[in-house]
């Protein structure tokens, strides 16, 4: 759509340069069509069953961005709060949501995910859909601690985020090709690659590192590894890493989906 701002203070604040039209947001995120259709519909199809919003549930949508899942959860009868640092995103989310008739209550609140302005035991579910990669490690830790505080006993935190291992293997593959062709000037690291290709993803993690955020006495974890296996071109690399080795198939899934249930 438009150019994104730089990360500030360990969090990409979602600020945008220029104007974003509500129609663009709806076409890209709410009712995906045109160039966004395949990506947008796949994202909704993967994440909504994981969230499983139900009538009467209180849901907090962390780093809600343009409010896609705030709207979708409210449409299914949940009472939803969209929460984001970016005032621009929240204004656009509120405008986009207002275009649709939703019977359930929803609202938007601006704030810091490391200091949630909500009482303890307030929510049945917290969701972070394509938001976790925008936080550095210390903020992730604070977010998980806050999630444990504001979730009701037995409540769940659902995280959907890009997998760093997938990016790292892509960089490895590119380096091997460049090395074989003698293009030593094109060799790079995963950090350098991401800084150029995905500059707002300042905190991507692997499933291993993501697990380290959670204490076993506070959360019970369930990973889902079948969320982004769509129709992709078969290659020798894909056959080796995803078809012949089930463990690698899971670890190299393009997205990590985690359901963390509060214990006690």
CA dihedral 17, 73, 40, 170 (to 10 degrees): 80
Contact 100/123 with Cβ under 8 angstroms? no
The answer to whether residues 9 and 135 touch, using CB atoms and an 8 Å cutoff, is no
Report the residue count for the chain. Answer: 264
In three-state secondary structure terms, 221 is strand
**Helical spans, DSSP H, in the chain:** 22-25, 37-51, 68-75, 87-98, 137-150, 164-180, 190-197, 207-211, 236-238, 246-251
All structural domains of the chain, each given as residue ranges with its CATH number in brackets, are 22-163+200-233+256-262 (3.40.50.150)
Cβ atoms of 224 and 154 within 8 Å: the answer is no
Q: Rounded to whole angstroms, how far apart are CA atoms 42 and 36?
A: 10
pLDDT at 258: 95
Q: What is the pLDDT of residue 29?
A: 82
What is the C-alpha end-to-end distance of the chain, expressed in Å?
Answer: 43
Q: Please tell me the pTM assigned to this model.
A: 0.83
Q: State which residues of the chain have pLDDT below 70.
A: 1-20, 225-250
CA dist., res. 114 & res. 145, Å (int): 8
pLDDT of residue 234: 56
CB 24 within 8 A of CB 1: yes
- Residue-level pLDDT at 49: 94
């Amino acid at each position: 759509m438009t150019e994104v701002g730089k990360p500030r203070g360990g969090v990409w604040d979602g600020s945008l340069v220029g104007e974003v039209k509500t129609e663009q947001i709806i076409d890209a995120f709410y009712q995906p069509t045109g160039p966004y259709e395949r990506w947008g519909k796949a994202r909704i199809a993967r994440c909504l069953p994981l969230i499983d919003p139900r009538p009467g549930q209180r849901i907090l949508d962390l780093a809600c961005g343009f409010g896609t899942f705030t709207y979708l959860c409210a449409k299914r009868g949940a009472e939803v709060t969209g929460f984001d640092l970016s005032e621009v995103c929240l204004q656009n989310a509120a405008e986009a949501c207002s275009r649709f008739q939703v019977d359930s209550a929803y609202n938007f609140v601006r704030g810091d995910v490391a200091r949630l302005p909500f009482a303890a035991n307030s929510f049945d579910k917290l969701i972070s859909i394509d938001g976790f990669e925008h936080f550095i490690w210390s903020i992730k830790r604070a977010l998980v601690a806050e999630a444990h505080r504001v979730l009701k006993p037995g409540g769940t935190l659902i995280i959907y985020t890009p997998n760093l291992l997938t990016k790292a293997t892509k960089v490895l593959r590119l380096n091997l090709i460049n090395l074989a062709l003698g293009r030593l000037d094109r060799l790079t690291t995963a950090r350098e690659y991401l800084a150029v290709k995905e500059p707002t993803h300042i905190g991507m993690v692997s499933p291993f590192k993501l697990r380290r955020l959670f204490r076993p006495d506070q959360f019970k974890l369930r990973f889902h590894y079948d969320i982004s296996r769509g129709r992709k071109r078969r290659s020798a690399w894909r056959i080796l890493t995803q078809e012949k080795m089930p463990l690698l198939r899971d670890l190299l899934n393009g997205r990590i989906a985690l359901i963390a249930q509060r214990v006690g």
